[in-house]
Amino acid sequence: MPKTIKRVLITGGAGFLGSHLCDRYFEEGYDVICMDNLSTGAAENIEHLFGKDRFTFVKHDVTQYIHVSGEVDLVLHFASPASPIDYLEMPIQTLKVGSLGTHKALGLAMEKDARFLLASTSEVYGDPKTHPQSETYWGNVNPIGDRGVYDEAKRFGEAMTMAYHRYHGVETRIARIFNTYGPRMRLRDGRALPTFLRQALNGVDLTVYGDGSQTRSFCYVDDLIEGIYRLSQSEYIQPVNLGNPDEISIKEFAEEIIEFTDSDSGITFEELPKDDPQVRQPDITRAKELLDWQPTYSRRDGLEATIGYFRQELGLGQDN
């Protein structure tokens, strides 16, 4: 009998991106196995999928041996703390999930003859010396800095992924994900966007680090998920940047959030964290050419969708 239903294992499936991936692959007709140890993920992000017959949740730490019974066609390895506050609090777990966890997830993919997609990051470029960043740039990372635990774990993950491809013939994909935002982001994960939104909605000052001249490029989650989906269906082995090239300084971004939320908040300036990248903007030529992908949400549209979620989570009405 021909096999019709495909099975996907999503590590970190209860996290921000992972839970959106669970939704997307479920809608595409996949049998979805969501694996998460809930260290930074939350069951609430996937509770709407509980009880559905093509969805399974497994509470497991992927740095330990992973067992899944039956066939698996695709492994999406998204497990990792992902905000600077989280990896300052969990430096060793961050290193372990990027290294040991990637090894275990690749081992499972090899065992099941499954395709493997690594959630890598723009952080592999560190504080970049080229602008915008294209996939051919090797990066400028401080291995022993506070952020090094994340950056180096992801760089190791990429090296391990390519080794499994070259040595074991595993079909691998690498997505280098730039700053992404949207519903289900944790309100207190410490990153600029959720912090600013929370502050603006609560009418307190937005905390801009440094002079706010550092730049980021923010991508709405639905666009990112579309890019991941297309990459997983493509035949391309080399890393692919996924992000929105619309770059903005953090100070202007704070002002924009105050405007979009119609807030009375002001801005206070605080100390810039060490090794904070000065600029970040994806060159998405590769994704455009190979995947016919580019973001469709403007920051205004993406932020509007996100503000609704934040109001709800903060227990605020739609209008105040």
Q: Which residues are catalytic?
A: 150
- As measured in angstroms, the least distance from the Cβ of 118 to ligand UDP is 18
Nearer to ligand UDP, 10 or 192 (CB): 192
- Tell me, what amino acid is at 126? G
Tokens 């800095």: give the residue: 145
φ, ψ (nearest 5 deg) of residue 13: -70, -15
- Measured from the CB atom, is 39 or 207 closer to ligand UDP? 207
Question: What is d(CA 19, CA 24) in angstroms, rounded to the nearest whole number?
Answer: 9
C-alpha distances (whole Å) from 163 to each of 91, 102, 125, 156, 237 are 25, 12, 20, 10, 12
Q: How many CB atoms are located within 10 Å of the residue 277 CB? A: 19
Closest CA to 125 of 177, 90, 193: 177
Footprint of ligand UDP on this chain (CB under 6 A)? 83-84, 179, 191-193, 195, 207-209, 214, 216, 250, 273, 276
Q: How far is the CB of 163 from ligand UDP (least distance, A)?
A: 27
DSSP string, 181-197: E-TT--TTS--HHHHHH
CB of 146 to ligand UDP, least distance (A): 11
Tell me whether residue 115 or residue 299 sits nearer to ligand UDP (CB atom).
299
- Minimum distance of ligand UDP from residue 270's CB (angstroms): 7
Nearer to ligand UDP, 107 or 273 (CB): 273
